[in-house]
Amino acid sequence: MRIYGQMLALVCGAGAVQADEGMDLPLDILSRVVASDCIDVHPNPGCERITLLQSDASAADLIILPDVRNNPPYEPLLVDLDAVFSSGFGPDAPDIVASAMGGFSLTSAQSDQGRHPWSQSLTILWHEGTFVVAHFSFSAYDRADGSSYACDVDLMSGDYATSVTKVIDSGDERVTEDAGQIEPMLVPLSDWTMDITGPDVCQSASESFYAP
């Protein structure tokens, strides 16, 4: 239960509670935990507790805590407010997944409302003393006509690939694909919010997708 005491201290203030073994975490805090996992993403021994807490009706905060077996409580490695879109719980809830690149991925989506469902994945790595967004991918489609687009960018190398499929009135598909390299643009995770829409190449693909 100590890890929950740390979460409570983050939300309520470090002096508000003592992280005693067996303490009860208030339900208003527990009910905000959208996803949580323990993944080794930092040079410190052990695994880091990575948690998404619902912050309002459409966003989740990201908290990364050190392994409490090796570190004192109340010292988070990172707190990123409104890190990803979150509609709460259910099929569109954001998730935390261990990455083959050695860090973790934050996945988010919106599929139950509107004409254009979408999904996003951010790969997070510990790099040169800080957590960074190292990979960005986004895709969306049109429920009405089946058009779609996808953008995948390795922010460490700058390599990217985009694809836009437009279904025209006759039912034929017009596919536009692009690949290349942009300037590497690692973004500190502490600076990332759900309002960031990705590199310019992704914006260009999005504009082509939404264009009449």
Whole-model pTM? Answer: 0.84
Cα 118 to its chain centre, rounded Å, is 13
- Give the residue from 208, 199, 200 showing the smallest Cα distance to 175: 208
With vertex at residue 8, the alpha carbon angle to CA 6 and CA 11, rounded to the nearest 5 degrees, is 115
Q: Please check whether residue 84 is in contact with residue 42, taking contact to mean a CB–CB distance below 8 angstroms.
A: no
Decide: helix, strand or coil at residue 200.
Answer: helix
Average pLDDT per block of 10 residues along the chain, 212 residues long: 48 40 54 89 89 89 85 77 87 90 92 91 96 97 95 97 91 92 94 93 95 86
In whole angstroms, give the CA distance from residue 182 to residue 152: 12
Cα 46 to its chain centre, rounded Å, is 22
